[in-house]
Amino acid sequence: MERSDQTRINDKIRITPVRVVASDGAQLGVIPTEEALEKAREAGLDLVEVAPSERPPVCRIMDYGKFKYEKNKKANKSSGHQTKTKEIRLRPKTGKHDIDYKVRKAMTFLAARDKVQISVVFRGREIVHVDEGRRVMGKVIEVLVPEHGKLETSPSQQGRRIVCTVTPK
């Protein structure tokens, strides 16, 4: 049986004596390795070295296959969804249909548990019409916030852009 990790089990444990913990968690004390192996065989389990750097090393009587299975299961479960920040860019002159399309896209991002940063970008002389940009931002927030997400940061102007962030509910 090849193991990718360096955990020593059963006959691979060379050092003697070892501190032994039973399968139910009871301390069996410091005993010779052969005696510990014998106790593990009587229980129909493995002797697994859990703390090799200690003196004497700590070994536990357990089902090694089940232990590895649970460890892998826990490792796979913990690698869940990483929240990303997606950006929706708009302009003050963006048409109604285009805004609707971008809002639907933002809804899919929120449904996938991602944050959405909404930006209204001003180019050239558009900066004179900041109120138009705020109106566009208001429309988007009005559709997204009540049922799809909540406002994390309210709209604020940062140079030539108005930015706000919506998080999933």
DSSP string, 130-147: HHHHHHHHHHHHHHHTTT
Q: Domain locations in the chain?
A: 10-76, 85-168
Tens digits of residue pLDDT in 106-160: 999 999 999 999 999 999 999 999 999 999 999 999 999 888 899 999 999 999 9
Rounded percentage of the chain residues whose pLDDT exceeds 70:
95
Pairwise CA distance, residues 112 & 106, whole Å: 10
Tens digits of residue pLDDT in 18-27: 999 888 888 8
- Annotation: CATH topology of 85-168: Translation Initiation Factor IF3 (3.30.110)
Instruction: Give the homologous superfamily in CATH for domain 10-76.
Output: Translation initiation factor 3 (IF-3), N-terminal domain (3.10.20.80)
Q: How confident is the model at residue 5 (pLDDT cuts 50, 70, 90)?
A: low
pTM given for the model: 0.55
Place of tokens 């109120």: 131
Check residue 168 and give its pLDDT: 92
Place of tokens 């406002």: 151
Q: Which helix or strand (DSSP H or E) is residue 18 part of?
A: strand 18-21
Q: Which helix or strand (DSSP H or E) is residue 109 part of?
A: helix 96-111
